[in-house]
């Protein structure tokens, strides 16, 4: 220690009144003092030591002691939220000092609500962060989008950073799943301390080439000094499907099938000799053979329909599932050692038979500080999960089959399994119920996240930190379906395992200081090195199994070579970065950052990219001229600019590779290799430039607090998979070309309507984003997309991404239309669907497609009200979206044009056109349409919905039970997704996207009633 | 850690940069080029057989992509079979162009091997372009490796220019290829295959133009075709099979009729899909195939069925007249079963092991007859003899004399039903409009098929190629 001296000073509040009893301690020691009645203090310290001033309800301040002997200061009342320190990239900052756009989520109650996954917890919590639950299959990841989608071919998922560890980014497949692991897999929400989302480039650019879709920073719970606090949280409840699709009942199916068959029969000859009253026997005699298209099942009309069974397949498939969770944790510590340890188990049965999700996870976050300067620690989180899904979601999967299955047959739910055959008038697929009951589809994932770090304070204010991070996921998927429930009576199996490993080493130096009481400076410099490895093994059976009783591939009759292989990929990322944060007099704030990223995924001529950012803030309320007013407690203007990147291009995409394509010669398979992509040595990152302007306003003593942002985000040099003439030998080439702009506004509003005994707070989040394609490939030629039949969406300059491109449906053709030569699709007749002849060429075809709106919602909203009264707490979260469209290829599959009578179809077929005299509701045409299909607006739906995501009512028994050993006991009941409404009759979930922008059978969400217990001792 | 680590190369795929460096790699690349042919029979069936008067492929529901082909619909530019033909052939052209550009005496030092490889690549390029020109007329001429950006500047070349490349490639192949292959090269294109192919090219090129830019240029090269067919017939190692059925026998592959075929093998991921596509799903289920194909029934036309004499054995080999389903109900439908033998079923629908004949000896005989009749040069016995041979082989009684072009087409139709030659035969002989319209009037009871026009001799350019770059390709007349 240098020589000690006595310093003195006065502490005043913002009204320049002396503050009495301010606690002052020398940092890192137990010695200190407090201010007297006049706000004065004196203390013996050495130069280089730091004084910490704290007072309940005021912001804690620190002063580094230099050569001066007088240290006066003004303390500011803490305004709860603004004083809160939140995590930003490579550091933390007071919320009030942030100059970029960062959304912060309240997570203090996360362990007091039944939340199964971190992404689920984020739904409706932050403006501009759209968390879309595309699937109700338990364990399935959500789609998280920050400020709209700016990328067309590359990923639109944010970068996740858990306790400073950037997690390997995975691209969500077009079916909505994560084939090689979701960054949030197995992370227990109960362990989460806070979640921040870096929305603009100024905040995110410190993460460089991975940050264009925003960055989600997740911080897990850390130890705190003090006696151990033990928490035990548990809940149990039930869940069931939010929705059952309206399809025809068995009786209605019979009525429709009878109409179809009679129509076929009567119209099978032109001489009028056949009529609907002829019996089956008479018809068969006339025909000379049986034909189900002309002859009905006589039992349909008999009382009690002997020998037939009526089945409601959805009722058979859906069930009420049980949900259970247990979590125990302990946190505590001393000045030298702090710990948080927790263990968690979740068991969630899905809303359909065969579906389920189990998770076991544990976490230990331990920090050791042997002295003032050195801290090191370990965060270790092993976890294991089993997700069971025998194949319910998507095209031709079991839920689709259950919706379409013929509701009448001879064997009930044992339909077409084992020795049971297809019902003569029925569809050929076996019972979806027996299929899911007997099929295994388990994904087992063992994941370990580990971080080791050390930090050392070299001199006061200067800290070096180093971390080693490791993420290892081992996944194994086992699928087996026995022969007796397969349509071909052939068992099949496949296994897939993968190991995903990321290693990240990050080293940073930070320097913090305040000069002359007015200049706050915070500097950061660092470097990072990461490797990502992905190894995959697949094996698939061929030709069935020897027996249905052995489910492993040793019993398979053969191995499918195409489905059996192993593969490995590796990529490397190297980075350097720096940031300066400066504030003058707590009025003017400036932040600037820069990052250089080198990635092995980029072309050999473009390995390195630079990502700069800058942001400014002006705390108007701290200006002299604002001192006299008392309306605005906080008033801050922010402006920011930054450039972030997207490197979501496949490994080795810049390199020309060969693919296997064998050929048979001389009676055996000969090896063949063919060029599989076109090389692009210039392939590089996609650039996202964001301008953001924001205003933070707190009025009425911050009873009302609002944050408003307007942004323009332009993604250019898109990693676009541009269609090229296939005369090149390739259908498309990944090229840095094209531009997409997203602009919009976000409002976060918090009002504390009542404080005191009865406490009522309202949080409102609104956001609106407009998406526009600005440039595309060469010549800006539009790019058409959409699977199954002709293309039905388009990327076109001046329009939002994936604008729908469809023939317009216009009611039903009348005989008069036909007589007047109204354009038809093929040889349509009266009672068939009527379409608009857009190009006026006299017939309906693909050339009549028109721009028909886009899938992007105009407005996302959520309202969260929380009430507290004495021991009671109640919170209600309502959220929804407006102004978007969903195209349902699923709706199309279950209600095709001219689909015949065999499969079941949707409820609107009840009110179909039966004759000119009985035209029905004008939507569904006649049962015997026999014209071609065309992609049209019949399957276009609004994706508007509202949903009460969560209602939780809790009561704290702590007040009653309070004792030395029990610190708190809260009981609660939650209803999740119980109420809501949408306009989507073509599928189960208006947010479903599981086929390149369309819904092809997205699985319904669950609604649940759950009761729980939070016990603290 | 050094920045060299940023240069990662693929672990599980070959990088193209180091490939094409030795003989073995070229053999593998050539196998890859042949593998382009794997789904050739599928598109031929949908675009050549379904479109012709041999099939009345109308379903009850009218939602399958083969129906607009069958119905002579003019809005089929979006049809997947068309983009399959366009894309697959150009993929193959890239494969052979890459081989031809990399092939030199540094990488393949043995001259005979190198010449054989060049011959194979050129044969295949001609094969791909011949399919393209028959299907679409004008197409881009890609005779070297171009980057995707370069192909954005390459429009469609005149049909005659495409033929120039085809003819020069086949002439090169004739001189470079050996007359036969054996062992694990059996099934590759021989010089005989190139000759037969070139004869067919001249025959097609000499056909009528129909006033469109289609495969016929009225070039009057029938004599060149006849010379090549004569050479194959007189000097080649080929002959008729005595029994019609054995030509398509799973146990009799590479038989004496086969001049060039596409090779398949069951159980090794190099199997065929084409036998499956002609039969309905329920037929496979009822016969316990262990797999299904999801296909609708595609009916053989009444007109074709009625054309078979009761004695004709080819009817039974070619066409299945109904089947009994799982519930013991007889389904009175007709479909091609020429390539199906359930005793040789593979593990799935893509795993049939039967080679697909592209050119067989009988075809060369009948093409020579066609060239004679079309050009009015040559001997009538070279027309009548093969016609009477196939009639006799089919079990028919009585010889024909002075067979004319209509008679030849009628006989060829019975012989080659289900072999996807009918549409091209009608096009080459100038009969397609007349024959199709007469048949439509008779057979199209439900009135679904449009009137045949000259424009429909070729197909539209796939719409996804038209939209890649506005104005690069013009759509063919008669289609929108």
Determine the pLDDT at residue A224.
Answer: 81
Determine the pLDDT at residue A54.
Answer: 81
Question: Does B221 reside within a domain?
Answer: yes
Which residues fall within 8 angstroms of residue A756, CB to CB, at 6 or more apart?
none
Nearest one of A855, A876, A854 to A865, comparing CA atoms: A876
Poorest-pLDDT segment among B94-108, B186-200, B206-220, B284-298 = B284-298
Poorest-pLDDT segment among A225-229, A793-797, B1-5, B448-452 = B1-5
Angle at B106 between CA B101 and CA B110, to 5 degrees: 100
A566 shares contact with chain B (CB less than 8 Å): yes
Nearest one of A647, A709, A717 to A147, comparing CA atoms: A709
Cβ contact, residue pair A572, B5, below 8 Å = yes
Using CB atoms and an 8 Å cut-off, which of residues 331-350 of chain B contact chain A?
Answer: 331-332, 347-348
Torsion angles phi and psi, residue B421, rounded to 5: -105, -15
Determine the distance in angstroms separating the CA of A687 from the nearest CA of chain B, rounded to an integer.
Answer: 20
The confidence band for B37, taking pLDDT boundaries of 50, 70 and 90, is very high
Smallest CA–CA distance from B78 into chain A, residue? A790
Residue A995 has pLDDT above 70, yes or no: no
Determine the pLDDT at residue A74.
Answer: 87
The confidence band for A1008, taking pLDDT boundaries of 50, 70 and 90, is very high
Cα–Cα distance list, A734 to A602, A649, A722, B17 (Å): 12, 9, 6, 18
Using CB atoms and an 8 Å cut-off, which of residues 585-614 of chain A contact chain B?
Answer: 598-600, 602, 604, 607
> Residue B241 is part of which domain span?
28-269+357-466
The DSSP code for A18 is: B
Tens of pLDDT, residues A779-836: 888 999 887 778 899 999 999 999 999 999 999 999 999 999 999 987 788 999 999 9
Do strands A374-388 and A356-368 pair parallel, antiparallel, or not at all (unpaired)?
antiparallel
Residue A503 in tokens: 């290693």
**C-alpha count within 13 angstroms, C-beta hemisphere, residue A557:** 16
Q: How would DSSP label each residue in A787-800?
A: SSSS--EEE-TTS-
Q: Which residue has the higher pLDDT, A30 or B396?
A: B396
The confidence band for B152, taking pLDDT boundaries of 50, 70 and 90, is very high
Other CB atoms within 10 A of residue B220 CB: 12
The confidence band for A266, taking pLDDT boundaries of 50, 70 and 90, is very high
Instruction: Tell how far CA A648 is from the center of its chain.
Output: 17
Using CB atoms and an 8 Å cut-off, which of residues 354-413 of chain B contact chain A?
Answer: none
Q: How would DSSP label each residue in A526-570?
A: EEEEEEEEEEEEEEEEEEEES-SS--SGGGEEEE-STT-EEEEEE
For B62, the closest of A572, A790, A930 (CB atoms) is A930
Determine the pLDDT at residue A759.
Answer: 86
Determine the pLDDT at residue A81.
Answer: 56
For B60, the closest of A572, A655, A930 (CB atoms) is A930
A462 shares contact with chain B (CB less than 8 Å): no
Mean pLDDT for the stretch of residues B49-63: 86
Note whether A177 and A90 are within 8 A (CB): no
The confidence band for A142, taking pLDDT boundaries of 50, 70 and 90, is confident
Determine the pLDDT at residue A175.
Answer: 64
Determine the pLDDT at residue A82.
Answer: 56
Residue A917 has pLDDT above 60, yes or no: yes
Nearest one of A857, A598, A263, A230 to B4, comparing CA atoms: A598
Mean pLDDT for the stretch of residues A685-690: 94
Determine the pLDDT at residue A407.
Answer: 97
| Residues B64, A764: Cα–Cα separation, whole Å | 50
| Residues B95, A672: Cα–Cα separation, whole Å | 11
For B14, the closest of A290, A673, A781 (CB atoms) is A673
Q: Which helix (H) or strand (E) holds A438?
A: helix A432-438
The confidence band for A225, taking pLDDT boundaries of 50, 70 and 90, is confident
Mean pLDDT of chain A: 90
For A574, the closest of B1, B86, B290 (CB atoms) is B1
SS (H, E, C) chain B: CCHHHHCCCCCCCCEHHHCCCCHHHHHHHHHHHHHHHHHHHHHHHHHHHCCCCCEECCCCCCCCCHHHHHCCCCCCCCCHHHHHHHHHHHHHHHHHHHHHHHCCCCCCCCHHHHHHHHHHHHHHHHHHHHHHHHHHCCECCCCCCCCHHHHCCCCCECHHHHHHHHHHHHHHHHHHCCCCCCHHHCCCCCHHHHHHHHHHHHHHHCCCCCCCCCCCCCCCCHHHHHHHHHHHHHHCCCCCCCCHHHHHCCCCCCCCCEEEEECCECCCCECECHHHHCCCHHHHHHCCCCCCCCCCCCEECHHHHHHCCCCCCHHHHHEEEEEECCCCCEEEEEEECCCCCHHHCCCCCCCECCCEEEEEHHHHHHHHHHHHHHHCCCCCHHHHHHHHHHHHHCCCCCCCCCCCHHHHHHHHHHHHCCCCCHHHHHHHCCCHHHHHHHHHHHHCCCCCCCCCCHHHHCCCCCHHHHCCCCCCCCCCCCCC
Greatest mean pLDDT among A823-832, B42-51, B265-274:
B42-51
The sign one gets for the Cα dihedral A62, A67, A69, A73 is: negative
ipTM: 0.95
The DSSP code for A253 is: H
Which residues fall within 8 angstroms of residue A566, CB to CB, at 6 or more apart?
A535, A536, A537, A538, B12
Optimal mutation site among A653, A670, A776, A895, interface B, most CBs of chain B within 10 A: A670
Instruction: Tell how far CA B177 is from the center of its chain.
Output: 21
Nearest one of B388, B251, B266, B465 to A732, comparing CA atoms: B465
Mean pLDDT for the stretch of residues B159-180: 98
Cβ contact, residue pair B148, A827, below 8 Å = no
B15 shares contact with chain A (CB less than 8 Å): yes
* Domains along chain A with CATH numbers: 4-78 (2.60.40.1120), 85-225 (2.170.130.10), 250-311 (no CATH), 809-845+897-932 (no CATH)
Mean pLDDT for the stretch of residues A891-914: 91
| Residues A19, A10: Cα–Cα separation, whole Å | 8
Mean pLDDT for the stretch of residues B297-308: 95
Determine the pLDDT at residue A174.
Answer: 65
Determine the pLDDT at residue A959.
Answer: 66
Mean pLDDT for the stretch of residues B29-46: 97
For B148, the closest of A673, A733, A779 (CB atoms) is A733
Residue A958 has pLDDT above 80, yes or no: no
Nearest one of A663, A642, A747 to A697, comparing CA atoms: A747
Determine the pLDDT at residue A112.
Answer: 72
Determine the pLDDT at residue A967.
Answer: 74
**C-alpha count within 13 angstroms, C-beta hemisphere, residue B172:** 20
Using CB atoms and an 8 Å cut-off, which of residues 445-474 of chain B contact chain A?
Answer: 446-448, 463-465, 467-470, 472
- In terms of Cβ atoms closer than 10 Å to its own Cβ (0-12, 13-18, 19+), residue A145 is buried
| Residues B370, B164: Cα–Cα separation, whole Å | 23
- In terms of Cβ atoms closer than 10 Å to its own Cβ (0-12, 13-18, 19+), residue A108 is exposed
| Residues A874, A876: Cα–Cα separation, whole Å | 7
- In terms of Cβ atoms closer than 10 Å to its own Cβ (0-12, 13-18, 19+), residue A2 is exposed
Tens of pLDDT, residues A376-404: 999 999 999 999 999 999 888 999 999 99
| Residues B457, B479: Cα–Cα separation, whole Å | 12
Cβ contact, residue pair B330, A933, below 8 Å = no
Question: Does B429 reside within a domain?
Answer: yes
For B468, the closest of A531, A669, A724 (CB atoms) is A724
| Residues A157, A214: Cα–Cα separation, whole Å | 8
Chain A hits for B132, CB-CB cut-off 8 Å, are none
Torsion angles phi and psi, residue A576, rounded to 5: -130, 140
The confidence band for B359, taking pLDDT boundaries of 50, 70 and 90, is very high
Determine the pLDDT at residue A511.
Answer: 94
CATH number of the domain to which B372 belongs:
1.25.40.390
Determine the pLDDT at residue A92.
Answer: 83
Across the A:B interface, residue pairs with CB atoms under 8 Å apart total: 288
Determine the pLDDT at residue B6.
Answer: 85
Determine the pLDDT at residue A729.
Answer: 94
Mean pLDDT for the stretch of residues A705-718: 95
Determine the pLDDT at residue A48.
Answer: 85
Residue A764 has pLDDT above 60, yes or no: yes
Do strands A159-162 and A632-646 pair parallel, antiparallel, or not at all (unpaired)?
unpaired
Question: Does B275 reside within a domain?
Answer: no
Tens of pLDDT, residues B231-256: 999 999 999 999 999 999 999 999 99
Tens of pLDDT, residues A639-648: 999 999 998 8
Note whether A663 and B263 are within 8 A (CB): yes
Cβ contact, residue pair A679, B16, below 8 Å = yes
Mean pLDDT for the stretch of residues A724-740: 92
| Residues A809, A850: Cα–Cα separation, whole Å | 11
Determine the pLDDT at residue A251.
Answer: 96
**SS3 state of residue A908:** helix
| Residues B354, B317: Cα–Cα separation, whole Å | 15
Q: Which residue has the higher pLDDT, A132 or A407?
A: A407
Cβ contact, residue pair B268, A569, below 8 Å = no
Smallest CA–CA distance from A537 into chain B, residue? B12
B160 shares contact with chain A (CB less than 8 Å): no
**SS3 state of residue A280:** helix
Determine the pLDDT at residue A379.
Answer: 96
Mean pLDDT for the stretch of residues B342-363: 94
SS (H, E, C) A921-958: CCCCCCCCCCCCCCCEHHHEEECCEEEEEEEEEEEECH
Note whether A20 and A35 are within 8 A (CB): yes
The sign one gets for the Cα dihedral B378, B379, B380, B385 is: negative
Q: Which helix (H) or strand (E) holds A313?
A: helix A313-317
Cβ contact, residue pair B91, A291, below 8 Å = no
Instruction: Tell how far CA A714 is from the center of its chain.
Output: 22
Nearest one of A629, A572, A714 to A200, comparing CA atoms: A714
Residue A226 has pLDDT above 60, yes or no: yes
Residue B335 in tokens: 């479909």
The sign one gets for the Cα dihedral A851, A854, A859, A864 is: positive
Determine the pLDDT at residue B364.
Answer: 98
The confidence band for A843, taking pLDDT boundaries of 50, 70 and 90, is confident
**How far separated are the first and last CA of chain A, in Å rounded?**
42
Residue B44 has pLDDT above 60, yes or no: yes
Determine the pLDDT at residue B1.
Answer: 60
Overall number of domains in chain B? 1
């Amino acid at each position: 220690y240098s020589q000690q001296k006595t310093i003195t000073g006065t502490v005043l509040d913002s009204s320049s009144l002396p503050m009495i009893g301010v606690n002052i301690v020398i940092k890192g020691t137990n010695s200190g003092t407090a201010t007297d009645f006049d706000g004065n203090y004196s203390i013996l310290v050495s130069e280089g030591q730091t004084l910490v001033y704290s007072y309940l309800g005021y912001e804690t301040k620190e002063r580094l002691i230099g050569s001066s002997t007088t240290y006066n200061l003004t303390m500011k009342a803490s305004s709860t939220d603004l004083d809160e320190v939140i995590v930003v990239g490579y550091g933390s900052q007071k919320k009030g000092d942030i100059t970029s756009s960062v959304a912060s989520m309240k997570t203090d109650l996360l362990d007091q609500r039944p939340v199964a996954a971190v992404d689920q917890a984020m739904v409706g919590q932050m403006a501009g962060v759209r968390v879309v639950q595309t699937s109700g299959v338990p364990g399935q990841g959500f789609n998280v989008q920050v400020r709209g989608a700016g990328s067309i071919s590359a990923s639109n998922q944010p970068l996740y950073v858990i306790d400073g560890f950037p997690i390997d980014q995975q691209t969500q497949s077009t079916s909505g799943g994560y084939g090689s692991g979701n960054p949030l897999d197995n992370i227990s929400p109960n362990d989460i301390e806070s979640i921040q989302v870096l929305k603009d480039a100024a905040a995110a650019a410190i993460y460089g080439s991975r940050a264009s879709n925003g960055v989600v920073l997740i911080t897990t719970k850390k130890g705190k000094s003090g006696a151990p606090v033990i928490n035990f949280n548990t809940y149990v409840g039930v869940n069931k499907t939010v929705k059952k699709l309206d399809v025809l009942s068995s009786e209605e199916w019979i009525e429709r099938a009878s109409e179809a068959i009679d129509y076929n029969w009567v119209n099978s000859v032109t001489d009028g000799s056949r009529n609907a009253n002829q019996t089956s026997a008479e018809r068969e005699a006339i025909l000379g053979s049986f034909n189900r298209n002309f002859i009905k099942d006589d039992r349909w009309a008999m009382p009690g329909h002997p020998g037939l069974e009526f089945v409601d397949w959805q009722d058979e498939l859906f069930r009420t599932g049980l949900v259970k969770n247990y979590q125990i944790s302990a946190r505590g510590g001393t000045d030298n050692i702090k710990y948080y340890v927790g263990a968690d188990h979740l068991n969630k049965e899905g809303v359909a038979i065969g579906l389920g999700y189990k998770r076991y996870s544990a976490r230990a976050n331990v920090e050791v500080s042997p002295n003032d300067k050195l801290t090191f620690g370990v965060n270790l989180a092993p976890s294991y999960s089993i997700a069971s899904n025998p194949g319910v979601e998507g095209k031709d999967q079991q839920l689709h089959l259950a919706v379409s299955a013929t509701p009448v047959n001879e064997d009930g739910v044992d339909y077409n399994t084992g020795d049971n055959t297809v019902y003569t008038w029925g569809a050929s697929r076996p019972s979806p119920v027996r299929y899911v009951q007997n099929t295994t589809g388990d994904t087992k994932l063992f994941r370990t996240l580990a971080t080791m770090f050390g930090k050392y304070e070299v001199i006061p204010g200067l800290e070096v930190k180093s971390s080693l991070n490791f993420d290892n996921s081992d996944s194994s998927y086992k699928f087996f379906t026995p022969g007796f429930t397969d349509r071909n009576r052939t068992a099949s199996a496949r296994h897939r395992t993968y190991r995903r490993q990321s290693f990240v080493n990050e080293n940073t130096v930070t320097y913090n200081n305040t000069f002359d009481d007015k200049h706050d400076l915070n500097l950061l410099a660092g470097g990072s090195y990461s490797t990502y490895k992905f190894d995959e093994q697949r094996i698939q059976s061929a030709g069935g199994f020897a027996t249905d009783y052995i489910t492993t591939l040793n019993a398979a009759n053969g191995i499918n070579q195409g489905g059996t292989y192993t593969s490995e990929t590796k990529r490397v990322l190297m980075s350097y970065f720096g940031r300066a944060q400066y504030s003058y007099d707590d009025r003017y704030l400036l932040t600037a950052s820069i990052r250089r990223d080198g990635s092995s995924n980029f072309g050999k001529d473009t390995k390195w990219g630079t990502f700069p950012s800058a942001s400014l803030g002006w705390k108007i309320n701290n200006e002299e001229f604002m001192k006299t007013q008392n309306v605005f407690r906080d008033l801050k203007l922010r402006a920011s600019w930054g450039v972030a990147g997207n490197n979501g291009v496949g490994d080795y995409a810049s390199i020309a590779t060969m693919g296997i394509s064998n050929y048979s010669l001389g009676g055996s398979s000969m090896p063949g290799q063919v060029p599989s992509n076109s090389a692009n040595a210039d392939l590089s990152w996609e650039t996202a430039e964001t301008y953001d302007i924001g205003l933070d306003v707190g009025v009425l003593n911050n009873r009302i607090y609002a944050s408003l942002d307007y942004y323009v985000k332009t993604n250019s040099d898109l990693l676009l998979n541009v269609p090229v003439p296939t005369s090149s030998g390739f259908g498309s080439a990944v090229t840095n070309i094209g531009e997409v702009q997203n602009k919009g506004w976000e409002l976060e509003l918090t009002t504390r309507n009542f404080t005191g005994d009865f406490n009522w707070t309202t949080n409102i989040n609104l956001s609106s984003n407009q998406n526009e394609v600005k440039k595309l490939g060469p010549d800006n030629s539009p790019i058409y997309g959409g699977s199954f039949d002709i293309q039905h969406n388009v990327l076109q300059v001046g329009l939002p991404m994936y604008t729908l491109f469809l023939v317009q449906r216009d009611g039903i053709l009348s005989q008069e239309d036909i007589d007047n030569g109204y354009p038809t699709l093929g040889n349509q007749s009266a009672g068939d669907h009527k379409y608009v002849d857009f190009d006026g060429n006299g017939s309906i075809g693909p050339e009549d497609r028109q721009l028909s709106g886009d899938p992007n919602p105009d407005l996302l909203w959520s309202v969260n009200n929380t009430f507290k009264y004495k021991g009671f707490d109640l919170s209600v979260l309502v959220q929804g979206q407006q102004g978007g469209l969903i195209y349902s290829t699923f709706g199309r599959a279950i209600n095709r044009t001219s689909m015949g009578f065999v499969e079941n179809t949707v409820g609107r077929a009840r009110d179909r056109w039966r004759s000119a005299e009985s035209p029905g509701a004008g939507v569904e045409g006649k049962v015997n349409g026999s014209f071609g299909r065309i992609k049209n607006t019949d399957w276009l739906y609004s994706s508007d919905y509202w949903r009460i995501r969560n209602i939780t009512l809790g009561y704290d028994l702590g007040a009653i039970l309070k004792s030395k050993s029990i610190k708190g006991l809260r009981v609660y009941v939650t209803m999740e997704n119980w109420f809501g409404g949408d306009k989507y009759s073509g599928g189960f979930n208006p947010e479903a996207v599981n086929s390149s922008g369309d819904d092809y059978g997205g699985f319904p969400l669950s609604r649940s009633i759950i009761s729980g217990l939070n016990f603290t001792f | 850690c050094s920045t060299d680590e940023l240069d990662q190369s693929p672990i599980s795929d070959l990088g193209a940069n180091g490939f094409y460096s030795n003989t073995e790699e070229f053999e593998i690349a050539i196998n890859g080029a042949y593998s382009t042919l794997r789904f050739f029979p599928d598109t031929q069936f949908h675009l050549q057989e379904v479109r012709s008067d041999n099939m009345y492929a109308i379903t009850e529901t009218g939602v399958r992509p083969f129906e607009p082909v069958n119905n002579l619909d003019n809005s089929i530019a979006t049809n997947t079979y068309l983009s399959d033909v366009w894309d697959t052939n150009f993929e193959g052209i890239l494969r052979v162009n890459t081989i031809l550009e990399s092939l030199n005496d540094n990488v393949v030092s043995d001259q005979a091997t190198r010449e054989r490889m060049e011959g194979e690549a050129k044969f295949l390029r001609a094969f791909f372009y011949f399919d393209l020109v028959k299907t679409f007329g004008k197409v881009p001429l890609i005779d070297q490796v171009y980057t995707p950006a370069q192909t954005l500047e390459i429009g469609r070349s005149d049909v005659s220019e495409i033929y120039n490349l085809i003819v020069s490639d086949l002439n090169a192949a004739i001189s470079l290829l050996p007359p036969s292959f054996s062992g694990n090269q059996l099934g590759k294109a021989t010089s005989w295959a190139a000759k037969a192919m070139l004869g067919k090219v001249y025959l097609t090129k000499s056909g009528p133009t129909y006033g469109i830019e289609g495969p016929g240029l009225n070039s009057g090269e029938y004599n060149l075709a006849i010379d090549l067919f004569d050479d194959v017939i007189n000097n080649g190692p080929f002959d008729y099979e005595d029994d019609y059925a054995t030509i398509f026998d799973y146990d009799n592959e590479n038989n004496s009729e086969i001049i060039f075929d596409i090779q398949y093998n069951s159980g090794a991921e190099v199997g065929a899909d084409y036998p499956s596509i002609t039969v309905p799903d329920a037929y496979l289920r009822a016969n316990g195939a262990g797999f299904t194909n999801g296909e609708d029934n595609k009916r053989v036309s009444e007109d074709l069925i009625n054309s078979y004499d009761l004695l004709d054995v080819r009817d039974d080999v070619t066409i299945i007249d109904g089947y009994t389903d799982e519930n013991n109900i007889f389904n009175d439908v007709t479909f091609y079963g020429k390539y199906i033998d359930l005793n040789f079923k593979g593990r799935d629908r893509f795993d049939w092991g039967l080679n697909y004949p592209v050119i067989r000896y009988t075809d060369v005989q009948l093409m020579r007859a066609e060239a004679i009749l079309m050009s009015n040069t040559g001997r009538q016995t070279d027309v009548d003899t093969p016609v009477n041979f196939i009639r006799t082989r089919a079990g028919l009684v009585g010889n024909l004399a002075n067979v004319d072009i209509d008679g030849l087409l009628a006989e060829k139709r019975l012989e080659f039903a289900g072999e996807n030659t009918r549409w091209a035969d009608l096009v080459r002989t100038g009969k397609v409009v007349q024959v199709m319209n007469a048949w439509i009037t008779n057979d199209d009871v439900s009135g679904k098929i449009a009137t045949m026009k000259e424009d429909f001799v070729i197909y539209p350019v796939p719409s996804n190629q038209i939209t890649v770059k506005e104005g690069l390709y013009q759509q063919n007349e008669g289609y929108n």
